[in-house]
Amino acid sequence: MTAPAPGGRVLPTLNEDGTRNWIRPKPSSGPWWRRRRVVAYALMALFIAIPHIPIAGKPAVLLDIPRREFTLFGTTFLPTDTLLLMLLLASIVIAIFLFSALFGRVWCGWACPQTVYLEFLYRPIERWLEGGRSGSLRLDKANRHFAPRRLLKYAIYLGISLVLAHTFLAYFVGAEAIARWVRLSPREHPVPFIVMAVTTLMVFTDFTWFREQTCLIACPYGRWQSVLLDRQSLVVSYDHRRGEPRAHVKDHTEQSGDCIDCKACVTTCPTGIDIRNGLQMECVHCTQCIDACDTIMEQVGRPRGLIRYSSQAALEGVAHRVLRPRVVIYPLALILFLGGFLVALGTRPAADITVLRSQAEAFRVEPDGRIVNQVRIRIGNRSRAGHEYAITVIGAESGEVVAPESPLQVEAGELRTTSIFVVLPREAFTAGSRAVTVRIEAGTSFVRDQPFTLIGPSDAKDADPDEDGS
């Protein structure tokens, strides 16, 4: 059985013989490009700055995965905050759905790091070193991937990728840890060094080689657009009714549309598509084709906006409808989830207390016959200051409480676990148990009473001193 013949180009980055079609877009400076450049450089500055901005003694964003603590702008989420994080995550996803329904892939074109860094950092350096788009194409044609100017480009790319990888990892370990590690020999911190090297390599490979294929092949968001958008969503689109039938300037007649088939919109497209073929999964809504076409329209004396932000419905002459089911349902869902998150955040206690039984043994019998219960106490300090937490047990007055670490110092946003030992005479237990209350106090600002059941021998009178509860 023979394989079916290829049906033409399946991806703009692949030639029909399977080789790479390198896309070297021609920059189109114009109002949209200038607006996007301002946004892009602001986002780059923000990305670099955030790990260095302290809020309440912690970085503005710190995603401490080993300790399962996420700090976002002064609020620390502990492992017990899973519900809060789920509400926040759900709110973000719904917000993306809503934005996509209203404004199409505005995230891809304006704020996605892939677009921002590729179009406003890596590609400009490439054009500068290789002599613009035509210089890059000449090197591609001659297969000179290691020409001296390209080697210099790779060296600069590697330096930038190092900075980006270090900054990215600062979000997970903090800028101070990064600053400390870079001064040490890799032998002194092999694991962070390997993580850093792999991350740098991934960033370098992505922006040097994989490039727009991340949007075309790897990113799921582009594939979602068929369900996230509707015909009323704002998208970068070509006005078919105005542009067609297209004709070169020299062939232009009364019946011709406004498109002069100059292909400026194609040569400027960073994903290598032709917007005139309609809304496509590959379009990241970068607006470069708008600027390119507007320039051409001005040159040939026709109105701008042959390619513009519009909706498919508007281009077909259908009246624009702001209110559609998804534009009503998404905000309602957003209010529900975001409201739930804010209420839960605003009403959560200043400390998260968990009282647990010892996993090793339920109780132990001392040689003098007294019963010992080990109780584990986990305290998560959610406040913005460190506190000393005093631990007492109400209902254990007939015995003693050994609390080696009381008061327990817990820093802001920290989660600590300690153990106390409650020693009671056998008579204190009824039918093998005794109800007590574990009280955790931090000065006068925080008091929590946590009911707890101590375990003892089921028949205290007959208990053997050698017995234990394991």
Q: Which residues bind ligand SF4 (CB under 6 A)?
A: 236, 238, 243, 259-265, 268-271, 273, 275-276, 283-289, 292-293, 296, 306-307
Nearer Cβ to ligand SF4 (88/284)? 284
Nearest to 381 by CA among 406, 405, 417: 417
Angle CA 82–228–319, to nearest 5: 140
Q: Which is nearer to ligand SF4, 203 or 286 (CB)?
A: 286
Beta bridge partners of 452: 436
Least distance to ligand SF4 from the beta carbon of 273, Å? 5
Reduced to 3 states, what is the DSSP secondary structure of residue 394?
Answer: strand
Q: How far is the CB of 28 from ligand SF4 (least distance, A)?
A: 8
Could you tell me if 157 and 164 are in contact, meaning their C-beta atoms sit under 8 angstroms apart? no
- In the bound state with ligand SF4, the residue whose beta carbon lies nearer, of 273 and 424, is 273
Structure tokens at 441: 């106090």
Centre a 10 Å sphere on the Cβ of residue 375 and count the other Cβ atoms it contains. 22
- Determine the Cα–Cα distance for residues 74 and 70; give it in Å rounded to an integer: 10
Helix (H, G, I), strand (E, B) or coil at 448: strand
CA 68 to chain centroid, in Å, comes to 16
State the minimum distance, in angstroms, from the CB of residue 267 to ligand SF4: 9
Which residue from 156, 210, 261, 154 is spatially nearest to 23, judged by alpha carbons? 210
Which 3 state secondary structure label does DSSP give 174? coil
Cβ neighbour number for residue 376 with a 10 Å cutoff: 14
Q: How far is the CB of 247 from ligand SF4 (least distance, A)?
A: 10
Distance in Å, CB of 311 to ligand SF4, minimum:
15
Shortest distance, CB of residue 130 to ligand SF4, whole angstroms? Answer: 21
Instruction: Indicate the residue among 12 and 192 with the shorter CB distance to ligand SF4.
Output: 12
Q: What's the token pair of residue 319?
A: 């009246």
* Packed helices 148-173 and 175-182: angle between N→C axes, nearest 10 degrees: 130
| Torsional class of 363: left (φ above 0), alpha (ψ -120 to 50), beta (otherwise) | beta
- Could you tell me the smallest distance in angstroms from the CB atom of residue 291 to ligand SF4? 9
Query: 146: buried, middle or exposed (CB in 10 Å: 19+, 13-18, 0-12)?
Result: exposed
Q: Which residues lie closer than 8 Å to 6 by C-beta, 6 or more apart?
A: 16
C-beta neighbour count of 379 within 10 angstroms:
24
Residue 27 or 331 having the CB closest to ligand SF4? 27
Hey, which residues does 268 pair with through a beta bridge? none
For residue 242, the minimal CB distance to ligand SF4 (Å) is: 10
Shortest distance, position 167 Cβ to ligand SF4, whole Å: 27
The amino acid present at 81, given as its one-letter code, is D
Instruction: Tell me the two tokens of residue 10.
Output: 């399946």
Residue closer to ligand SF4 by CB (options 118, 196) is 118
Residue nearer to ligand SF4 on the CB measure, 234 or 307: 307
| Residue closer to ligand SF4 (CB basis): 28 or 200 | 28
Q: Considering the complex, what minimum distance in angstroms separates the CB of residue 442 from ligand SF4?
A: 55
Name which of 282 and 468 has its Cβ closer to ligand SF4: 282
Here the tokens at position 295 are: 């320039």
Nearer to ligand SF4, 109 or 174 (CB): 109
- Least distance to ligand SF4 from the beta carbon of 324, Å? 23
Nearest to 330 by CA among 99, 136, 124: 99
Residue (29 or 445) nearer to ligand SF4, CB: 29
